[in-house]
Chain A
């Protein structure tokens, strides 16, 4: 009996605490509250909080509540469920999947058109790079404001390559040169270390595949035509390319590749020291470098220069919930995050290189971020306008990953894989 009494007492104490906390929340009737949902870890959360504090100081009477999730997966599950119940956040970060949420998109219309708010002077678009605005503009409406630009790149473990006495790869090369380089490098590497990671085993699988199809002049998706230009033969050649690398031993066999999910720095083969070359987005350089003792640097995808096959894209976009009760303040907040030099100073290039000329004037705070900028300076000219994103992004990536694995594990042939990829593309477009 005594034990139960003790427990009840503890309970009473806790309950009072809980309700007291609840009561504190209640007295905010005259303040404006904004809810901002995004994904990221410790470092990004701290940066975002710092930016929020600056905004709140500049705008008394406005409170911003951040709602971070560990990963993009959790983030969208949460946001989708909340929105379905009519309780979505005001500002929502999205990635290349934002087209899923525009009018007519597969998930339903969630994102607000920002142009009217720019006209009202709440958002300053004049200082933003035109490419960044074009990125999120569909049918004359702007659905998101870029958090920062980035480019796909290949990342090299400089220290490792130098240690085995090999020359560094050229920043720019052709596919033939690159292949030869991989072979030469592999010869010098110790057993268990591979020249390059298997790029098909990535969470954001469609990017290397998108590069390849762009390089071939057969884009993955053309929104205006609602069609893909990729044929089964093209897709097969992509799979053959990696089958070739695999047979040469310059990329790991399927099961070893599969053990590195490559979702972040610590599921990365490169960071684990088992691959000399890998795939990275420029805004990830800082995070990855901090996880490694060896020095890393960026080089272009092979063939980028000869066909301008690379592209500059926006890492993420800030979108505003079309049903937000505080649209004007949300717009001001988004403008602050993108254009304010104070915000840029604390946010850094964590979500991409700033696309706002006034924010950029602040410069970057650390040499890792500078590497990203240097790369973009070199690779910038070797770009074409970004191709449209395939709709149903999540499902596309997930299924592409599966097909790729089937080929890698030898379950199906590259020809069959090629056909399945094309079928998948068409299915995603029809949906």
Chain B
């Protein structure tokens, strides 16, 4: 059969299907993006009109704003610790569950529940109380013999770790995706290699990992992108101040604070663009390293 002709009529009718997305893209994405790019070169206190100040915002960000650099490092730490941990747990648990288990549906649901609660206010509030000085975690720790556990949530050394734990706790999503991916690897490969004398470890590295590699990439990029934009948990757990000592001041939180709290919307817009560039670059690097395993075009 012949491929559809690239006629004008054909193009137009195809574009008809694309119309909603195009309208949305131009009005709700492009226009705000361009407007925010413009704002990034201004001082905009929200109520008074924007005032053009050139590259000033960007300059300040990288040369004199310690809190900005701090928020960048905090976020990078968060992303590059929580994402790998999340994926590792997801993979391990997926492998454990990749058997003919009677209650597989039930188990899957249990492990997915934390993710369901994800952005909810209640869980963040709960987490804060759980890890407080007199919180449940410490009560348990004291009961098993640790006399003086620190106040996790209010100690600058540990506060970020509680947020990392919260993120890793929600490994349900990538786990389910891994599980599906594992179930797609033909059993015959394992059986054949068993016969050839390969042990479980060898099988893992020779069959499982390569078979899963496109999914690992997909999960990694999806998780990385959303982790960079993490906001709600840090906002509620730190009470909105990114404390203690700015140790939980995520990039998005600082952006929010600068924009609405300190009325520097121009600066916040500049921050947003910098973030976009960072995420974009890291994603491009990830694709390059993985040798372009996922094809971009929608065409065949």
Contacts and interface: CB of A to CB of B under 8 A. Distances in A.
Interface of B is mostly: loop
A76 interface: yes
Contacts of B154: 255-259
Interface string A94-111: 000000110000111110
B58 to A, nearest CB: 19
Contact of A80 (B151, B239, B257, B260): B260
B4 interface: no
Contact of B240 (A73, A100, A110, A256): A73
Contact of B151 (A76, A259, A261): A259
Interface range on chain B (Cβ under 8 Å from partner)? 20 to 34
A258 B260 contact: no
Contact of B243 (A81, A109, A258): A258
A80 B244 CA distance: 27
A258 B263 contact: no
Given A80-B263, A256-B133, A259-B151, A402 B47 contact: no
A64 to B, nearest CB: 24
B244 A405 contact: yes
A405 B263 contact: no
A257 B245 CA distance: 12
Contact of A255 (B134, B155, B261, B262): B155
A261 B46 contact: no
B9 interface: no
Contact of B245 (A267, A394, A411): A411
B246 A402 contact: yes
Interface in B248-263: 257, 260-263
A76 B262 CA distance: 11
Contacts of A360: none
B32 interface: no
Contacts of B134: 272
A59 interface: no
A400 to B, nearest CB: 11
B48 interface: yes
A216 interface: no
A205 B65 CA distance: 22
A73 B236 CA distance: 12
A258 B244 contact: yes
Interface string B62-96: 00000100000000000000000000000000000
Contacts of B257: 398
B241 A401 contact: yes
B47 A108 contact: yes
Interface string A78-118: 00110110000000000000001100001111100000000
Interface string A393-412: 01100100110011001010
A259 B241 CA distance: 13
B33 interface: no
Given A76-B260, A395-B262, A109 B246 contact: no
B213 to A, nearest CB: 35
B45 interface: yes
Given A101-B47, A255-B155, A259-B151, A107 B243 contact: no
B150 interface: yes
A357 interface: no
A406 B246 CA distance: 10
Contacts of A254: 244
Contacts of A83: 46-47
B156 interface: yes
A290 interface: no
Interface string B32-52: 000000000000011110000
Given A73-B240, A73-B261, A405-B243, A258 B46 contact: no
B150 A255 contact: yes
A77 interface: yes
A109 B241 CA distance: 27
14 contacts: A77-B261, A80-B46, A107-B45, A107-B263, A108-B45, A108-B47, A255-B150, A255-B156, A256-B133, A261-B239, A263-B239, A272-B134, A405-B156, A405-B245
Given A256-B154, A402-B243, 8 more contacts: A107-B45, A107-B263, A255-B133, A256-B151, A259-B133, A401-B241, A409-B244, A411-B245
Closest 10 CB pairs of A and B: A108-B47, A108-B48, A259-B154, A258-B154, A258-B244, A395-B262, A255-B155, A77-B260, A261-B239, A80-B46
Interface of B: 45-48, 67, 132-134, 150-151, 153-156, 239-241, 243-246, 257, 260-263
